[in-house]
Each structure stands twice: as structure tokens, then as C-alpha cells.
Amino acid sequence: MLISGFAFVPAELSTSGGRVTWTNKDDAPHTVTFDDASIASSGNLAKGQTFSATFSGTGTYAYKCTIHPSMTGKVTVK
């Protein structure tokens, strides 16, 4: 998963579970912060930094960048 052009790419990911990793390709810092606060937030990611989250249960997990709240994404675990 990329963070590029002030967007999560792809914005929606479908997966059977496991680990998902985001890499910030922008010069600006971004976060990956889930609505479900039980999933740890990335904190600020500088350019080139990565963040991984592991999903163990099925469901849809919405997230956003807290610095730029118009940046949103979803991970669906089937």
C-alpha cells in the first residue's frame, strides 16, 4: 500500500487477513489512524517510512490521516 499524492493507494483493500504495510511516498508527513482505536496508529510517517498493521478478525477497518482528514481508506478482511 502506498501513500502518494495525498491519497491512500489503493483507497480500499480487500484481504484474507494478515499484515498490511503502508509506505509514505509523499514529501509531506501522513498518518494511518484507524477509527477502531484498539489498532495502534502509525504516528507521523515521514517520506520513505513504513507502517504495518496486522488484522486477525474479519470486518471492515476504516482509517484516515489525522493530519489531512480528507485522506481516508478502508481495509476489508474477509
Closest-CA residue to 33 (of 77, 1, 9, 69): 69
Nearer of residues 61 and 73 to Cu ion, judged by Cβ: 73
- Judge whether 65 and 4 are in contact, CB under 8 Å: no
Binding of residue 32 to Cu ion (CB under 5 A)? no
Cβ 37 to Cu ion shortest distance, Å? 18
Count CA atoms closer than 13 A to 27's CA, side-chain side: 0
**For residue 48, how far is the Cα from the chain centroid?**
14
Range in contact with Cu ion (rule: CB under 5 A) among 12-20, 39-47, 55-63, 69-77? 69-77
**Could you say which of 24, 65, 73, 75 contacts Cu ion (CB under 5 A)?**
65
Q: How many other C-beta atoms lie within 10 A of the C-beta of residue 9?
A: 13
Binding of residue 64 to Cu ion (CB under 5 A)? no
Binding of residue 67 to Cu ion (CB under 5 A)? yes
Residues that bind Cu ion (CB under 5 A): 30, 65, 67-68, 71
